[in-house]
């Protein structure tokens, strides 16, 4: 199975801009630029999109691991904080912090942590991004 993402950039780095589309059509014409990447201007950026992809993949993986362990999660909510640092020779994604909160009736803290760790290690996006450090802060909802 393969899915596609597409980006078109027009102009120079500082003065140009781009648009992002997905093969499914769920995202179309999403704007990005150097300003949205480095200066907080309106629009998205590649690191934000990596974070969204990682958070969504991880939430699905954790749900699967919880179900396979006999638990029925009501919800799993994940944020992926992607750190981009300038290093010699350019920019590098150096770290991804996953923060997840699961509402899972009847699960013990120990079992939740085990399933959260397993999901981090087995999530396809985690595997694809294995270069940067990926930390995890997993919590059960109150």
- The pLDDT of residue 1 is 81
Q: Does domain 46-140 have CATH number 3.30.300.20?
A: yes
- The pLDDT of residue 139 is 93
- The pLDDT of residue 2 is 84
| Alpha-carbon distances, residue 138 vs 18, 65, 71, 100, 142 (angstroms) | 35, 14, 16, 5, 13
Strand-by-strand arrangement of the 133-140 sheet: 75-87, 90-103, 133-140
CA 44 from centre of chain: 14
pLDDT tens per residue across all 142 residues of the chain: 888 999 999 999 999 999 999 999 999 999 999 999 999 899 999 999 999 999 999 999 999 999 999 999 999 999 999 999 998 889 999 999 999 999 999 999 999 999 999 999 999 999 999 887 888 999 999 8
Scan for tokens 């014409």, then name that residue: 29
Domain boundaries, the chain: 5-38, 46-140
Distance between CA atoms of 117 and 138, rounded to whole angstroms?
A: 9
Q: Is the pTM of this model over 0.85?
A: yes
- The pLDDT of residue 142 is 86
- The pLDDT of residue 20 is 95
């Amino acid at each position: 199975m393969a899915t596609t993402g597409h980006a078109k950039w027009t102009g120079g780095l500082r003065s140009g801009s781009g648009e992002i589309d997905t093969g499914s059509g769920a995202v179309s014409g999403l704007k990005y630029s150097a300003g949205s990447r480095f200066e907080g201007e309106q629009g998205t950026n590649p690191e934000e999109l990596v974070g969204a992809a990682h958070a969504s993949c991880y939430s699905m993986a954790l749900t699967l691991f919880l179900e396979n362990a006999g638990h029925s999660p009501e919800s799993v909510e994940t944020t992926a904080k992607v750190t981009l640092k300038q290093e010699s020779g350019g920019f590098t994604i150096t770290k991804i912090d996953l923060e997840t909160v699961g509402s899972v009736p009847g699960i013990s803290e120990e079992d939740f942590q085990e399933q959260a760790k397993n999901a981090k290690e087995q999530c396809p996006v985690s595997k694809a991004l294995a270069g940067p450090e990926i930390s995890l802060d997993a919590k059960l909802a109150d």
